[in-house]
Structure formats: structure tokens, C-alpha cells
Chain A
Amino acid sequence: MSAELAVRDVDDAATRAALEVTWAPPRGVLGLLGTVNHKVVAIRYIVSAFVFFALAGVLALVMRAQLAYPEARLVGPDLYNQIFTVHGSTMMFLFAVPVMEAMGLYLVPLMVGTRNVAFPRLNAFGFWIYLIGGALLWAAFLLNVGPDAGWFAYVPLAGPDQAPGKRIDVWAQMITFTELAALVGAVELVVTTLKLRAPGMSLNRVPLFVWAMLVTAFMVIFAMPAIMVASTMLAMDRLVDTHFFNVAEGGDALLWQHLFWFFGHPEVYIIFIPATGFVSTIVQTFARRPIVGYPAMVLSLIATGFLGFGLWVHHMFATGLPSLGESFFTAASMLIAIPTGVQIFCWLATLRSGRVLVRAPLLYVLAFVATFVLGGLSGVMVASAPLDLQLHDTFFVVAHLHYVLIGGSVFPLLGALHYWLPKMSGRMPSEGLGRLTVAILFVGFQLTFFPMHQLGLAGMPRRVYTYLPETGWGPLNALSSVGAALLGVAVLLFVANVAWTLRRGARAEDDPWGADTLEWSTTSPPPAYNFVHIPVVESRHPLWTHPSPRVVTGLRIDVREVLVTDAIDAVPDHRHMLDGPTLYPFLTAMAAGIGIITAIFTPWGITVGVVLTLPPLIGWFWPAGEAIAGTTREKA
């Protein structure tokens, strides 16, 4: 640390008081729209994502009501097509990816022991862009302009000839918004993880959840551009008559599928890998021992990240590929069972050799293992090209994808929220209600989705708004619809538990579960600046080795200063000043939003957007004088 520091740490109380002033949350309009505190932004993200989850869940219930018996007339095909498109698009783009990134944006700075994310203003910008995209999709749906070509929007069905009107344009622009937000979140997570770790937290001491978010963030950075390019090409085909996908003018319908699935398959791992981070964390805490095979776990995450990009074509086996290509993508798809298997075996070994404390978060993990393994096995089935020819685009795949996405990701996510709620809210959730929720969730889930395997084998295709009585698919569909109602009850119970916690829950201690990672070393909920002192990390399980760790001194506390460390060994490198609250990210997002929404109707929207975003961007990046000697400063 440099010697000429103006303000030094004197004692904890004085330090705390100074930090409170420096990191004080803004009030009024600035507090509402200008905050850059990663925890506030992340909780807004999580709450918004759950609102979208609930809305899309209601759509799922409407679909299950419509399919409960043959030839039902609850909704017609036009509305049904909008419903399943908005359900899928919301769950994938507005719930699953954002909520996982949001959990990372809340937890990663705390887990690596720093005060905020690397670019706090950019982080706020990402949230506003996401919110505008989500509001756009749902406003359009409520106005009967909801997209209706599926969350995958295959051309030519989504092209200008087959889908006149603005429904698909809304979808394409929503993609641009939400994937931009996803990229912003990914950049935050990568830089925060690699550059802002507490001293001593070398890469081999990084918590598995942080590793999972790092791998996820890199996957986002490589996968999302494919869909942004594709959705922009689609928007251009529709708006300015380009011919990327127009067969009559030399365009190609399969090009869309390649671009979409080059994003779409990694997307599944982008949703699943953070969930493995939740599971590793919960297993470690409640098995009361370090996870078995930490290096193997990390390598599995990285292997999954790479393999995830090599198997997109398994969504296209029915398009008529050369058999060598089929075999290659079958092999790549099945191989992913190996790193996933390694993780499951390590969790099982950890539980077997630990001293298991059975609490609600662990019950979520047990439900996860039983469900996800089944989803993985049906995944091996659809990875096999010949089997997939029968299973593809049927209810079997609907079953499979919900086993891996709900069983594999939502179960761990709910477990993780139960686990971290004491930290986020400062209050303990109800254990009994938590256990009841897991039980109903598990039974409701199996009732809803297990029969769908059978329906698919019996010939029921996906995305049908009804079916004929003579197909014989009625009884299993009815069973599935009953299960869906039960699933709805489980989600309500979860929400009730959160509400009860916030109002009545017992005060949470700093570390109520006796966990090992740094977020539990600060108060519950954490202060705006996260830690009074940046901790020094001396092992993989800091709180288990040193309940009161050594700390860094010498950081300025009269400005928002953080410590930048080296990417591999987390050796202190230099001090860095973060920026505080400002309205510019919000104004920039609004301006970009106006531009992109105008571009649904006219190409001039791009011009409008550029002109409108310029002033807030100038304000945002207006130079604020020299950085203080020995430190760096960025306007992000």
C-alpha cells in the first residue's frame, strides 16, 4: 500500500462510521433510479425475475388447463401459440438466465471479499435494459401482439411472409435487450472474479459457486452474440427486406437454426452451471466437510463449459444431416454426461463421508439429484441421433427439458434462496414451511412431467393447442394438469415463506448455517460496503480455518476504494476507485429503450436511439479529474 494515504484505519467504530458515509445509499429519485450497490441491483433483478417466473407460470397453468382433456376450447390456437411462446421466452430470457446472473451479482462480490462489482454503473445499466426488454414483451402480449412462433422463432414461420404484423419484431427486440443485459452481467462477473478477489484467494481457493459463475459468464460472452446476431438478422429481414433467411432470394432456413442453437444449447448450461454452484455450496455446508474432489469439480465445470458449445446440432437431427455429422454430435452430446457425472459422484461422496445436517436447503438438493439424474438420462436418450428421431419435438422432450431446467436449476435455486435468505434479509426462513414446500414441489413436479415421457412416446407432438379424443392421450394429460396445480401451490408456499421471513422471521446471526465462505463473515444483511475490512484469505474455507480472519488495512474509506488483485494468485496489485450513484445508466437505458422500441416500427429508430443515448453517455463518461496518485479510476 502506498504510504501517503490521507485517511487511515483508526479503529473499527470510526472506520465503520466513515464507510457508512462514503457508501451511504442515495435518497429520493437518485436512490430509486441511480443506485449502483450490487446488492440492491441484484435483489431488484431477482425480484423482477421471480415476477416474470410467476407470470410465465400462470401461462403454464393456462396451457395445462387447455390440454387437460381433448378438444378443449378454453383458448384458441392464436392465443395458445402466443402463450407457449411467451412462456418459453419469459422462462429462458427473462427468468432463468437473469436470475442466475443476479444471484452471482449479489453473492460473488461478497464471496470474493470486495465492496462492489467491478463496474457498478454498467451493472445498473444492465438491470434497466433487462427490465425494459421484459416489460416490452409482456406489454405486447397483453395487447395481443405477443410473439407466436415459439421461443425458438424458426424461419420461415417467423419471417416477414408467414408472420406479418409486429409480433415477431417484439420478440427479436426483446432478445436484443435481454442478451445485452446478460452480457453486461457476464462482464461484471468475470472482472469481479478475476480482479477484485480478496488477497490470498488464489484460483485454487475460489469457492465453487464463484467458479460456476465464472464459467457461466464466459459461456454467456461466447453464446449470446450468436443469438443477438441472429435476432438482428431476423429483425432486418422483417424491417428492411434483407434476405438472410429468405429461401426465394438465396437465404437459408437452416442458417437460423444453426445460429439459434449455437446459443440455445450453451444456454442450457448457462442455466445449469450456476445451479451446480448452489448445490456444491449447500452440500458442503450441510455435510459439514469440504467438498470431495474440489479440483475435479472445477475441471468438470470448465469441461462442461467447453463441451456445451460442441453439441448444438443435436437439436437438428431430423433436418437430414450426413450420418457422420449425426454421430459426431451424438458423441459430443453424450460425453457431457461424464463431467456432469463427476460432479454428482463428488456430491454423493461428500454426503456419504460428511456429518449430514438435514435442513430445507439440503432437501432441495436431494430433490434435485433424484430429478436431475432422470433428466440427464433422458438427455442421453435424445442425444442419440436414432432415438431422437422418435423423441424429438414430442412431449418426451417437454418432459426432458423440464426435468433438467426445473429439477436441475429451479430446485437448487429455491434451495439457494432459502439458504441465503438469512444473509439477504437478516431473518431466518421457516424450516417447517420450507420442508413442506420441497415435498409438494417434488410430488407436483413428478406428477406434471413424468407422464409427458409416455405421451411423447405415444405420438403427442409439442406445441399443439389440443388433440383428438381418439388419440387416447386424455388420461395422462389430465394427470399432468393436476400435477401442475400442485406445482403452483408449491410456488405459492415458497413465496409465503419469503413473506413470512421478511415480517416475522427470527433475526439471523452472521453465519446461521455455520458455513465457510466470506459472505457469512459480515453482518446479515451486509452493509452497503459489504465488509468493514477487506479480509485476507488463507485457505479454501476461510471461516472454517479462521473464524476471525486477518484483514487488509490501508484502503481509503473516504472514497469508494477497492483493492485490485492479480487474476491467478490474488496478490494485491493496486487500489481502484469505484464510482457512486448516478442517473446516467438509467437515462442511457431509457434512451436506448426508446430507440430499440421505435426500431420495431421504422429503421429510423436506430437513428433516434443514437441521438437520444448520446447526451446521457456524454454525461456518464465526462472526465472527473485526475485519479489520486497510486490508484486507478474508471467511469464504469
Chain B
Amino acid sequence: MSAMLLSLVLLLAGCGAPAALSPAGPQAGQIAGLWAVFFWVSVVVEVAVVAFLLYAVLRARRPVLTLPALAAEPLAERRLTRGVSAATALTAIVVVALLAASILVTRALGALHAPQALTVEIAGHQWWWEVEYWDPVPSQRVRTANEIHVPVGEAVLVKLRASDVIHSLWVPPLHGKKDLIPGHATSLWIKADRPGAFGGQCAEFCGYQHAHMRLLVIAESRGAFDAWLARQRRPAPEPTDAQARRGRDVFLTGPCAICHTIVGTPAAARLGPDLTHLAGRTTLAAGTLPNTPGHLAGWIIDPQRIKPGVHMPSIGLDGADLQALLAYLGSLK
């Protein structure tokens, strides 16, 4: 009990409402409403059972150490049986009510649809998220990683796939989880009711860096979203100064191009995240580091220290090459 009180106090002091209970979309909202029902039913049941237990033990008749009387008092026994039956009936009623509430919410979650909605395909990789904005015209498709921009107030269809192991997409303020399973196509609908950046994380254990497989959903106005999408459709800007040009050479002639794409350059590999507009993202290494030149340098030189086991190797570069590469990557807005 004291532990519960203590953690309740901590909760009120520091944390505020947890992510899953601060909904930013209709689905998380429905689930948070259902949570409230289950939570208060649980509080009542737990308190009632513990109170009755303590009452029963503390107020019970004093023990007799002789043999218990087995000839039951029929009246008292009948009262006990009736009490147990009533409690059982009440349990059944509460369970059925909770079941009904649960089924209603399941139906409500399935009701979010929109014709010709924005479709985002997400592929789970160890340990990052590949994101592709679908378009009937292949050249208009946009590929990015670990950050998903969506327009506020619009239903978005998220199609999910995985090729290595099972992952699970979870952005608590928007919706519950959906697994990404090799060999099974899954999907979910999400909708953000208010602008904001909502953190998410892989929820299915997927190997060494399961802990650092995070993502960000950025909900913004339709105008801002369209502008962002238009920016993403453009190829990477040409480097304008000598250092950035040297950085591009480092990128294209070094190991980087073996795994990464920068649209507008010959680098077109898809083993790692698309870096065409890397400088426009807020985080690095699937939400592990803030996107600053210092962190980027640390990540390039020794990713194994930051995410042990990650598939990106350590890249040995001398100081000048590293500075040039940082200048080039920093220009990829």
C-alpha cells in the first residue's frame, strides 16, 4: 500500500499524464476512455476485496484449538452460499459490461477510414524505420526515415511490412501497436487531432538495439505538410562551397554510398536510411541522438559505442574529411 501511495505521489509530482493517456488522436482517445472505465472498476474491486479481507480476518471469531465443528449451522452456511453467489453474479455482470465496452471500442477503432487518404508505407528494419509516402506516380514518391510527417485532422493509412524480424509500431498518443511481420502485410489508420511531435518506439523485441528504435510523428497543418512533402520530392541540393563539395566526394567515394541513398547523386543503396534530406530531420540514429553536427560526427566515427550491435560500421575518417562530410550532410536540408 505504501509503495502504491509513494509511486502515486511520484507520478503526480513528476510525470503528468503518461503518453498512452494523453491522446492526440481519436483512436488513442477511444482507448484512453476505455482505460478510465477499466481503471475505476479495478480500483473499486481491489479496494472492496482488500477491505473485506481485512475485515474478515480482524473481526473473525477467536480461534479454537480443538477440532473444528463440522456440523455446519445450516442458516449461516446458506447465508455464505448466497453471498458467494451474489458476488459471482455481480462479477459476471461487470465482466459482460466491460466486454461490451471493449467490443464497442474495437468497432470504433475500425471505423476510421477515408477515401484517397494519404498512404504511408513503413518498413521496419533492425533498428530503424524506412518511411515511404506513396504516390501513383513513382517519381513523386518520397522516401525518408524515422520521422513521419502527417497533416492534422486527416486520416492517414499506414501500411506496414518487415523483412528481417518482427517489429511493432507504437506511437502511444495516436494509437495502440501494430506488428510488422515478415510475410504478413498489416496496416493501421491514424489521425492526429492537434499539431505536435509525438514520440514512438518499436514495441516488439527485435534484437540488440530494440531499445533504440524510436520514431517521431510530426503532425502539422496541411499547408506546412504540403510544403514539407514538396521539399522532400526535390533531389538533394548541389553543394555550394568547396568544403561541402569535398564532403560529397568523401560520401560518394567512401563507404557511406554502399548503404545510403542521396537522391540527385549516384548514391542509391537502400541498406540504410535515405539521407537526401538528412539535415531537415530532428534526430539521428532512429531517435537516439539530437541532429547536431557534434552528434552526427560521433555517430559516423563510432556508431557501435552509441548503439552496440548496429549494422552501421565505424567509419575511419581523418579530421578534414570528417569536417567536409559534416558540412555536406549539414547542407542536405
CB of A446 to closest CB in B, whole Å: 3
**Which chain B residues in 169-214 approach chain A with CB under 8 Å?**
170, 172, 175-179, 181-184, 186-187, 199-212, 214
CB–CB A370/B50 < 8 A: yes
Q: Which residue of B lies closest to A547 (CB)?
A: B67
Please name all residues of chain A whose beta carbon is closer than 8 Å to the beta carbon of B18 when the two chains form the complex. 454, 457-459
A81 within 8 A of B: yes
Instruction: Determine, out of B81-89, B240-248, B251-259, B321-329, the stretch whose residues face the partner at the interface.
Output: B81-89
| Whole-angstrom CA separation of A389 from B64 in the bound complex | 52
Given contacts A334-B95, A388-B176, contact A77 B308 (CB under 8 A): yes
Are B110 and A349 in contact, CB atoms less than 8 angstroms apart? no
In the complex, which of the residues B38, B52, B84 has the most CB atoms of chain A within 10 Å of its own CB atom?
B84
User: Which residues of chain B from 108 to 122 have a CB within 8 Å of any chain A CB?
Assistant: 109-110
Q: Decide if A114 is an interface residue (CB 8 Å cutoff).
A: no
| A387, B38: Cβ atoms closer than 8 Å | yes
A386-B106 in contact (CB<8A): yes
Instruction: Report B-chain residues with C-beta under 8 Å of the C-beta of A451.
Output: 7, 10
Asked if A354 contacts B60 (CB within 8 A), the reply is yes
Residues in B with CB closer than 8 Å to A541 are 68, 70
Given contacts A338-B92, A374-B46, are A77 and B166 in contact (CB under 8 A)?
A: no
Which of B19, B57, B81, B208 touches A81 (beta carbons < 8 Å)? B208
From the candidates B7, B19, B62, B184, name the one contacting A253 in the complex (CB within 8 A). B184
Also in contact, A253 and B45, with CB within 8 A (given A373-B50, A475-B10): no
- Among the stretches A48-56, A187-195, A339-347, A556-564, the one at the interface with B is A339-347
- Collect the chain B residues with CB atoms within 8 Å of residue A247's CB: 182-183
Closest B residue by C-beta to A284: B68
A320, B84: Cβ atoms under 8 Å? Answer: no
Known: A320-B184, A357-B63, A547-B67. A463 touches B165 (CB 8 A): no
Question: Would A387 and B31 count as touching, CB distance under 8 A?
Answer: yes
- The answer on a CB contact under 8 Å between A387 and B34 is yes
Q: How far is the CA of A465 from the CA of B205 in the complex (A)?
A: 11
Interchain nearest-CB distance for B42 vs A (Å): 4
Instruction: Check if B186 sits within 8 Å of A544, measured CB to CB.
Output: no
Task: Judge whether A296 and B34 touch: CB under 8 Å.
Answer: no
The range of chain B's interface size is 35 or more
Indicate if B224 sits at the interface (CB-CB under 8 A).
Answer: no
Complex Cα distance A273/B202, Å? 34
Cβ-defined contact, B205 with A154, below 8 A: yes
A342 touches B38 (CB 8 A): no
* Residue A254, interface by CB 8 Å: yes
Contact with B along A433-461 (1 / 0, CB 8 A): 00000000001001100110010111101
Say yes or no: is B30 at the interface (Cβ < 8 Å to chain A).
yes
- Is B63's CB under 8 angstroms from A356's CB? yes
In angstroms, Cα B162 to Cα A247, docked, is 11
Q: Is the CB of A450 within 8 A of B3?
A: yes
Q: Which of A334, A356, A384 contacts B57 (CB 8 A)?
A: A356
Q: Does B20 count as interface, using CB distance less than 8 angstroms?
A: yes
- Assess the A366–B102 pair: CB atoms within 8 A: no
Known contacts A81-B208, A247-B182, A319-B184: A472-B102 contact under CB 8 Å = no
A348 CB contacts on chain B under 8 angstroms: 49, 52-53, 56
Given A342-B88, A393-B168, are A450 and B176 also a contact pair (CB < 8 Å)? Answer: no
Which of A35-43, A322-330, A603-611 contacts its partner?
A: A322-330
Known: A356-B57, A380-B42, A384-B102. A393 touches B177 (CB 8 A): yes
- State whether B208 touches A292 (Cβ < 8 A): no
Determine the residue in chain B with the shortest Cβ distance to A288.
B68
Query: Bound complex: CA of A327 vs CA of B106, how far in Å?
Result: 8
In the bound assembly, the distance between CA atoms of A450 and B5 in angstroms comes to 10
Q: Which residues of A contact B309 (CB under 8 A)?
A: 77-78
- Residues of chain A within 8 A (CB-CB) of B38 are 377, 380-381, 384, 387
Contact A356 B60 (CB under 8 A): yes
- Asked whether any CB of chain B lies closer than 8 Å to the CB of A430, the reply is no
For chain B residues 1-49, which have a beta carbon within 8 Å of chain A? 1-4, 6-7, 10-11, 14-15, 18-21, 28, 30-31, 34-35, 38, 41-42, 45-46, 49
Judge if B268 is at the interface, Cβ distance under 8 Å: no
Chain A min CB distance to B196 (Å):
15
User: Is the CB–CB distance between A389 and B99 below 8 Å?
Assistant: no
Query: How far apart are A631's CB and chain B's nearest CB, in angstroms?
Result: 37
Given A288-B63, A337-B95, is A254 in contact with B181 using a C-beta cutoff of 8 Å? Answer: yes
- CB within 8 A of B209: which of A77, A292, A476? A77
Cα A259 to Cα B182 with chains together (Å): 18
Across the two chains, which residue of chain A brings its CB closest to B2? Answer: A443
B interface footprint on A273-311 (CB within 8 Å = 1, 0 otherwise): 000000000000001111011001000000000000000
Contact with B along A527-555 (1 / 0, CB 8 A): 00000000000010100110100000000
Tell me whether B11 and A454 are in contact (CB under 8 A).
yes
Inter-chain contact A392/B177, CB cutoff 8 Å: yes
- Cβ-closest chain B residue relative to A446: B3
Selected contact of B7 from candidates A389, A454, A459, A464, CB within 8 Å: A454
> In the docked arrangement, what's the CA distance between A332 and B324, Å?
62
**In the complex, are the beta carbons of A338 and B91 less than 8 A apart?**
yes
Residues of B within 8 A of A8 (CB): none
- Of B2, B70, B166, the contact of A154 (CB 8 Å cutoff): B166
In the bound complex, residues from chain A placing their C-beta under 8 Å from that of B279 are: none
Q: Does B288 contact A (CB under 8 A)?
A: yes
Docked-complex contact B106 and A461, CB < 8 angstroms: no
* Residue of A162, A318, A377 ringed by the most chain B CB atoms within 10 A: A318
- Give every chain B residue within 8 A of A385 (Cβ-Cβ): 102, 106
B76: chain A residues at CB < 8 Å are 353
Determine the chain A residues whose CB is within 8 A of the CB of B199 once the complex forms: 459
Q: Does A630 contact B (CB under 8 A)?
A: no
| Minimal Cβ-Cβ distance residue in B for A285 | B68
Query: Does any Cβ of B come within 8 Å of A335's Cβ?
Result: yes
Q: Which residues of B contact A466 (CB under 8 A)?
A: 211
Q: B207, A162: Cβ atoms under 8 Å?
A: yes
| Interface status of A390 (Cβ within 8 A of chain B) | yes
- Give the complex CA separation of A558 and B275 in angstroms: 85
Contact pick for A351, options B10, B53, B70, B92, CB 8 Å: B53
Minimum CB distance partner of A84 in chain B: B205
The CA-CA distance from A566 to B88 in the complex, in Å, is 34
Which residues of chain A are within 8 angstroms of B72 by Cβ–Cβ distance? 290
Return chain A residues, CB-CB under 8 Å to B105. Answer: 384, 386
Q: Apart from A81-B207, A386-B102, what 6 extra A-B contacts exist at CB < 8 Å? A: A157-B166, A293-B80, A318-B168, A390-B35, A393-B203, A472-B15
7 contacts between A and B (CB under 8 A): A326-B106, A327-B102, A345-B88, A352-B80, A355-B68, A369-B49, A387-B102
Using a CB–CB cutoff of 8 Å, the interface residues on chain A facing chain B are 76-78, 81, 149-150, 154, 156-157, 162, 247, 252-254, 287-290, 292-293, 296, 318-320, 323, 326-327, 330-331, 334-335, 337-338, 341-342, 344-346, 348-349, 351-358, 362, 366, 369-370, 373-374, 377-378, 380-381, 384-394, 443, 446-447, 450-451, 454, 456-459, 461-468, 472, 475-476, 479, 483, 514, 516, 539, 541, 544-545, 547
Closest 9 CB pairs of A and B: A389-B176, A446-B3, A247-B183, A464-B211, A457-B18, A356-B60, A458-B18, A377-B42, A352-B56
